[in-house]
Amino acid sequence: ASQAPDHIFPTPAACRPRFRRLPGAAMAAPASCPSSFDVLAAFEAAFDFYFDPEDTHASFRPDDPHVVLALEFFGMLREPLAPLIEGVDWARELVVHFNFDDLVARSSMADLENALRDEPTVVFKSMSLSLCGYRALQLPPYTPPVKMLARVQNVRPIRPIRDIKADAIDSFMAVQ
């Protein structure tokens, strides 16, 4: 369930996104949402909002159910995201692209791989929450338990963010 206060997402309760566990760790929007509710569009909205903000801030609408689902997926999900991102190349690359709390971007790829293997959900949720802003979500400060990440030289992104996004979408759809 979402940890966000209701006033942040004024979406009708019947369509308030709630991912549910399905066989094979798949996730889906609730059946009570209209048929036009596009999970892929939500994922793309989330990806752009968090990881390519220059393209999306002007059009961001917190009452758009796609955006609500996106935000839940990337920042406020209680269920573990590990089955979705564990061992996936795009997840490692994405963490290199963006830092959380000035930590991840200064870490070596080996450290990131170890952290994703040991605590993939923690790494991903920490990054998401940091990008979204703790105060906006009215969440307490969150210190990720991945302090083993070395503060070393910046690691350059392996591929353009758009290529990583394409892989992320493929991985996301594979569990639908």
pLDDT on residue 173: 53
Q: How far apart are CA 17 and CA 53, in angstroms?
A: 22
Quote the mean pLDDT of the chain: 42
Decide: residue 115, CB within 10 A, 0-12 exposed, 13-18 middle, 19+ buried.
buried
Residue 154 inside a domain? The answer is: yes
Average pLDDT for residues 159-173, to the nearest whole number?
56
User: pLDDT by residue (tens digit) across 26-74?
Assistant: 333 344 443 343 445 555 555 555 555 454 444 445 455 545 545 544 4
Residue 3 inside a domain? The answer is: no
Given pLDDT bands bounded at 50, 70 and 90, which one contains residue 94?
very low
Among 26, 66, 34, which Cα is nearest to 173's? 26
Residue 166 scores a pLDDT above 60: yes
pLDDT on residue 49: 53
Residue 10 inside a domain? The answer is: no
Residue 2 inside a domain? The answer is: no
Residue 66 inside a domain? The answer is: yes
- Give the domain extent around 151: 17-174
pLDDT on residue 21: 31
115 against 5, higher pLDDT: 115
Q: How many domains does the chain have?
A: 1
Residue 7 inside a domain? The answer is: no
In the three-class reduction of DSSP (H, G, I as helix; E, B as strand; rest coil), residue 138 is classed as coil
Q: What is the dihedral of CA 17, 81, 106, 141, to 10 degrees?
A: 60
